[in-house]
Protein backbone atom coordinates (compact mmCIF):
# COMPACT_ATOMS: atom_id res chain seq x y z
CA UNK A 1 0.00 0.00 0.00
CA UNK A 2 1.30 3.44 -0.90
CA UNK A 3 0.83 6.47 1.25
CA UNK A 4 0.50 9.71 -0.63
CA UNK A 5 1.37 13.10 0.80
CA UNK A 6 -1.27 15.77 0.55
CA UNK A 7 -0.32 18.93 -1.29
CA UNK A 8 -0.82 22.25 0.39
CA UNK A 9 -0.17 23.57 3.87
CA UNK A 10 0.05 21.17 6.79
CA UNK A 11 -2.30 21.54 9.74
CA UNK A 12 -0.51 23.09 12.74
CA UNK A 13 0.24 20.81 15.68
CA UNK A 14 -0.92 21.57 19.22
CA UNK A 15 2.60 22.78 20.00
CA UNK A 16 2.64 25.10 16.99
CA UNK A 17 -0.79 26.49 17.90
CA UNK A 18 0.35 27.16 21.46
CA UNK A 19 3.58 28.80 20.33
CA UNK A 20 1.71 31.03 17.87
CA UNK A 21 -0.36 32.42 20.75
CA UNK A 22 2.64 33.43 22.89
CA UNK A 23 4.28 36.87 22.75
CA UNK A 24 7.70 37.23 21.17
CA UNK A 25 9.53 38.15 24.42
CA UNK A 26 8.01 35.11 26.12
CA UNK A 27 9.11 32.91 23.21
CA UNK A 28 12.68 34.06 23.74
CA UNK A 29 12.37 32.90 27.35
CA UNK A 30 10.98 29.58 26.12
CA UNK A 31 13.99 29.29 23.80
CA UNK A 32 16.38 29.68 26.71
CA UNK A 33 14.41 27.12 28.73
CA UNK A 34 14.42 24.61 25.86
CA UNK A 35 18.18 24.92 25.49
CA UNK A 36 18.61 24.37 29.23
CA UNK A 37 16.40 21.25 29.18
CA UNK A 38 18.27 19.78 26.20
CA UNK A 39 21.63 20.29 27.88
CA UNK A 40 20.52 19.11 31.32
CA UNK A 41 18.84 15.94 30.12
CA UNK A 42 21.70 15.05 27.78
CA UNK A 43 24.21 15.49 30.60
CA UNK A 44 22.07 13.44 32.97
CA UNK A 45 21.77 10.69 30.35
CA UNK A 46 25.55 10.55 30.09
CA UNK A 47 25.71 9.82 33.83
CA UNK A 48 22.79 7.39 34.12
CA UNK A 49 22.26 5.96 30.60
CA UNK A 50 18.49 6.28 31.19
CA UNK A 51 16.94 6.57 27.72
CA UNK A 52 13.91 8.45 29.09
CA UNK A 53 16.20 11.42 29.60
CA UNK A 54 16.93 11.45 25.88
CA UNK A 55 13.18 11.48 25.23
CA UNK A 56 12.95 14.65 27.34
CA UNK A 57 15.87 16.17 25.46
CA UNK A 58 14.20 15.31 22.17
CA UNK A 59 10.95 17.01 23.24
CA UNK A 60 12.97 20.09 24.18
CA UNK A 61 14.62 20.05 20.77
CA UNK A 62 11.26 19.73 19.01
CA UNK A 63 9.93 22.67 21.00
CA UNK A 64 13.03 24.70 20.20
CA UNK A 65 12.64 24.04 16.48
CA UNK A 66 8.97 25.04 16.56
CA UNK A 67 9.83 28.24 18.46
CA UNK A 68 12.58 29.20 16.02
CA UNK A 69 10.26 28.60 13.04
CA UNK A 70 7.62 30.84 14.64
CA UNK A 71 10.18 33.57 15.36
CA UNK A 72 11.41 33.40 11.74
CA UNK A 73 7.82 33.69 10.52
CA UNK A 74 7.29 36.75 12.72
CA UNK A 75 10.57 38.30 11.54
CA UNK A 76 9.45 37.98 7.91
CA UNK A 77 6.19 39.77 8.69
CA UNK A 78 8.02 43.00 9.54
Other C-beta atoms lying within 10 Å of the C-beta of residue 39: 12
What predicted TM-score, i.e. pTM, was given to this entire model?
Answer: 0.82
pLDDT reported for residue 47: 97
pLDDT reported for residue 8: 72
Give tens-digit pLDDT for 22-66: 999 999 999 999 999 999 999 999 999 999 999 999 999 999 999
pLDDT reported for residue 42: 98
**pLDDT above 60 (res 6):** yes
- Using the Cα atoms of residue 20, residue 24, residue 29 and residue 34 in order, give the sign of their dihedral: positive
Q: What is the 3-state secondary structure (H, E, C) of 11-68?
A: CCCHHHHHHHCCCHHHHHHHHHHHHHHHHHHHHHHHHHCCHHHHHHHHHHHHHHHHHH
Contact by Cβ (8 Å): 18, 62: no
pLDDT reported for residue 1: 47
Amino acid sequence: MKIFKKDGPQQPTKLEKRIASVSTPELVTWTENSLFVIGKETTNWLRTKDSLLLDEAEMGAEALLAIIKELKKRANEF
